[in-house]
Structure 1
């Protein structure tokens, strides 16, 4: 099957996933579409990203959750085309289904780190930052704000725990260069190369090292303030906050 035929078949499957009345057919169509999209080159797959984005309107939480899986699998491989997909993750932070919210936070964390790395490496290698990447970073900032809001407001414990881990990661990412912090973040994210704030030492048109370090400090103070009201928090949340503060503090020492 040539690229055009594969693209047409994927489009037909995505349309079925959006419009068919049977949930089993929707999910089966999505799985097949995902397999086809994974086989296409990034440019060809990206032509169908707007149709993927339309699936966020699905009334079925299983479809929305599967959409997040596809965004993570396909979007990270075609990150230069993902400005259509990342807004879906920001929208899903307010989803009525807690599992969709949790999936979106986990997926968004991976995007946040990947975009951050690309943002610094592109400037180091080419002396500029492409417009698509600037736009993608703006969405990552919105994602960060959404997750911070979840961490600070009442809500389901499972979602809050993931949001708090994002706050911890945010502190560690933008903490002054420290070998231990790099090892810690690497261990939490697997074998992928990870961002290090020392990459900003020569300056950057989007990321001001002073500003991001200050933001990390404010985030740590937020976690410390939460400890002041630990008696009113669920036990699992308190434990997570304590662990976040300890790891952040130790890596700054």
Structure 2
């Protein structure tokens, strides 16, 4: 099957996933579409991303969760073409289903780190940052603000919201560690590139057009102060939330010179 035929078949399957009445057919169509998208080159796959992103309108939780799987598996491998997909991560932070919100935080965290690395490396290696990365970073800043809001919400007594809050707090921990440690912190294996990449705040020491290391360190330290404020009201928090906050503080203060204490 040539590229055009594969693309047409994938589009037909995505359309079926959005419009077919039977949920089993929707999910089967999505699985097949994902397999085809994975086999296409990045440019050909990206032609279908607007149709894939349209799946966020589905009333079915399982379809929306599968969309997040596609975004993580395909979007991260074709990140230079993912500007259509990334807004879904921000929108799904407000989804009515807690499982969708949780998966959006997990997937968004991976994107945040990947885009940050790309932003830093491009300027370090080429002295400029491509427009597509700048646009993705703007979305990632919006994602960060959305997750921060979730972490600061006080209503988390039910299991769903508690799980969301724990993941939001873990994102805050990641944020703190990314911007306070000069040691290698964040490592992830990128199967599609066959390499291990790490972000180091020292990469920004020579300056960057969009990433100010002083401002980022300051914001990370303010986040640690937020953790401390939350810990002061630990008696009103679920035990799992308190434990997560303590762990975040322990990790953060081991790498930070925060002025909170």
Does the pair score TM above 0.5?
yes
Contact 1:176 1:213 in 2 (8 A): no
Equivalent residue for 1:195, pick from 199, 204, 220? 199
Contact 2:17 2:26 in 1 (8 A): yes
| Distance in 2 between residues matched to 1:86 and 1:173, nearest whole Å | 21
Q: Deviations over 1:142-186 (max 9, x none)?
A: 000000000000231000000000001100000041x3xx24x33
| Distance in 1 between residues matched to 2:254 and 2:213, nearest whole Å | 21
Contact 1:61 1:97 in 2 (8 A): yes
| Distance in 2 between residues matched to 1:49 and 1:74, nearest whole Å | 10
5 Å matches for 1:11-22?
11-22=11-22
Structure 2 runs not aligned, ≥5 long:
191-195
Q: Deviations over 1:122-147 (max 9, x none)?
A: 11111111111111000000000000
Structure 1-normalised TM-score?
0.95
Q: Which residue does 1:226 correspond to in 2?
A: 230
| Distance in 1 between residues matched to 2:130 and 2:189, nearest whole Å | 28
Contact 1:113 1:194 in 2 (8 A): no
Q: Does 1:162 align with 2:167?
A: yes
| Secondary structure of the corresponding residue to residue 208 of structure 2 | coil
Over aligned residue pairs, what C-alpha RMSD do you find?
1.1
Q: Which residue does 1:55 correspond to in 2?
A: 55
* Alignment: residue pair count: 247
| Distance in 2 between residues matched to 1:220 and 1:159, nearest whole Å | 19
5 Å matches for 1:1-253?
1-153=1-153, 154-155=155-156, 156-177=161-182, 179=183, 182-183=184-185, 185-186=186-187, 189=188, 192-252=196-256
Structure 1 runs not aligned, ≥5 long:
none
| Secondary structure of the corresponding residue to residue 109 of structure 1 | helix
Deviation at residue 195 of structure 1 after TM alignment: 0.7
Q: Which runs of 4+ in 1 moved over 6 A?
A: none
| Distance in 1 between residues matched to 2:77 and 2:181, nearest whole Å | 29
| Distance in 1 between residues matched to 2:118 and 2:15, nearest whole Å | 32
Deviation at residue 220 of structure 1 after TM alignment: 0.6
Contact 1:65 1:100 in 2 (8 A): yes
